[in-house]
Amino acid sequence: MKRFSTIFAPGMVLLTAVLCGGWLLQKGVGQEKNVYFQVRLFEEVMGHVLNSFVDPVDREELYSSAIQGVLQELGDPNTSFMPVSDVDDFRIRMEGEYGGVGLEVIPRDGWVTVINPLPGTPGTRAGVRAGDQIIEVGGLSTEGWDPDDVVEALRGRPGTAVSVKVRRPGVDGGLPFEITRETIQLRSVPFVTEIGDGVGYIPLESVTETSFAEIKRAVDSLRAAGVQELILDLRGNGGGPLDQGIAITDHFLDPEQVVVGTRGRGFNQTQTYSSHQGQPYPDLRMVVLVDERSASASEIIAGALQDNDRALVVGAPTFGKGSVQTLFPLTGGNILKLTTARWYTPLGRSIHKDREDQIRALERSAITLTGVFATRPDTVGKPVFRTEGGRTVLGGGGIVPDVLVIADTLTLAEQNALRELDRSGGNFPTSVFNYAVRYLQDHPGLEPGFSLSNVELEGVHRHLSESGVELGDSAFRAARRFIRFHVEREIALQAWGDVGEFRKMLPQDNAIQRALQLLAASASTPTLLEISADPEYSDWVPIPGEMQTPEEPMAVTDSGS
The pLDDT tens digits of the residues spanning 303-322 come to 999 999 999 999 999 999 88
Q: pLDDT confidence of 551, banded at 50, 70, 90? A: very low
- Among residues 165, 321, 353, 504, which one is catalytic? 321
Share of residues in the chain with pLDDT > 70 (%): 86
The answer to whether residues 192 and 222 touch, using CB atoms and an 8 Å cutoff, is yes
Smallest CA-to-CA distance from 236 within 114, 99, 338, 100 is with 114
Domain of 450, in residue numbers: 412-508
Q: How does residue 243 score in pLDDT terms, banded at 50, 70 and 90?
A: very high
pLDDT grade for 15, boundaries at 50, 70 and 90: very low
Q: Is the pLDDT of residue 324 over 90?
A: no
Residue 95: CB atoms within 10 A of its CB come to 12
Q: What is the pLDDT of residues 68-102, one digit of tens each?
A: 999 989 988 888 888 887 777 676 656 655 678 98
What does pTM read for this prediction?
Answer: 0.75
Q: 3-class DSSP state for residue 206? A: coil
Q: Select the highest-mean-pLDDT range: 221-230, 325-334, 351-360.
A: 221-230
Is residue 14 in some structural domain? no
User: Where does 188-270 show beta strands of DSSP type E?
Assistant: 193-195, 199-203, 229-233, 258-264
The amino acid sitting at 447 is E
* Position 29 in a domain: no
**pLDDT 10s digits, 462-521:** 999 998 888 889 999 999 999 999 999 999 988 998 899 999 999 999 999 999 999 999
Instruction: Identify the domain boundary among 185, 201, 221.
Output: 185
Per-residue pLDDT at 385 exceeds 90: yes
Whether residue 554 has pLDDT greater than 50 = no
If you average pLDDT over residues 257-278, what whole number do you get?
90
pLDDT in tens, 135-160: 999 999 999 898 888 988 998 888 88
- Residue 47 counted as domain residue: no
Residues 366 and 417 in one domain: no
Of 182, 132, 176, the closest CA to residue 161 belongs to 182
Catalytic residue among 132, 146, 148, 307: 307
The domain total for the chain is 3
**Are residue 214 and residue 360 in the same domain, yes or no?**
yes
pLDDT of residue 540: 52
Q: Does residue 337 carry a catalytic annotation?
A: no
475 part of a folded domain: yes
- Most confident range, picked from 377-386, 420-429, 515-524: 515-524
Same domain, 198 and 345: yes
Catalytic residue from among 296, 424, 522, 532: 296
250-274 mean pLDDT? 92
Residue 70 lies in a domain: no
Among 542, 536, 543, smallest CA distance to 518 is for: 536
Strand spans (E) along 227-346: 229-233, 258-264, 271-274, 285-290, 312-315, 323-329, 335-344
Instruction: Check whether 555 has a pLDDT greater than 70.
Output: no
427 and 381 inside one domain? no
pLDDT at 387: 96
Question: What is the rounded average pLDDT for all residues in the chain?
Answer: 84
Nearest-angstrom CA–CA distance, 356 and 465: 42
Confidence (pLDDT) at 361: 67
238 and 212 belong to one structural domain: yes
Total residues belonging to the chain: 561
Contact 555, 113 (CB under 8 A): yes
| In a shared domain, residues 270 and 363 | yes
Please check whether residues 266 and 396 belong to one and the same domain.
yes
Supply the pLDDT for residue 404: 92
* Sequence-ordered alpha helix ranges (H) in 407-479: 412-422, 427-442, 454-466, 473-478
266 and 130 within one domain: no
User: Does residue 529 form part of some domain?
Assistant: no
**Of 126, 182, 204, 106, nearest to 431 (Cα)?**
126
**Structure confidence at residue 218 (pLDDT):** 98
Q: Do both 366 and 431 map to the same domain? A: no
User: Residue 102: which CATH number?
Assistant: 2.30.42.10
- What is the band of 5 on the pLDDT scale with cuts at 50, 70, 90? very low
Query: What Rg value do the Cα atoms of the chain yield, rounded?
Result: 27
Q: Specify whether 307 is catalytic.
A: yes
Residue 206 is among the residues annotated as catalytic for this protein: no
Residue 432 near residue 487, CB atoms below 8 Å: yes
Considering only CA atoms, which of 180, 204, 3 is closest in space to residue 100? 180
Q: Decide if pLDDT at 406 tops 80.
A: yes
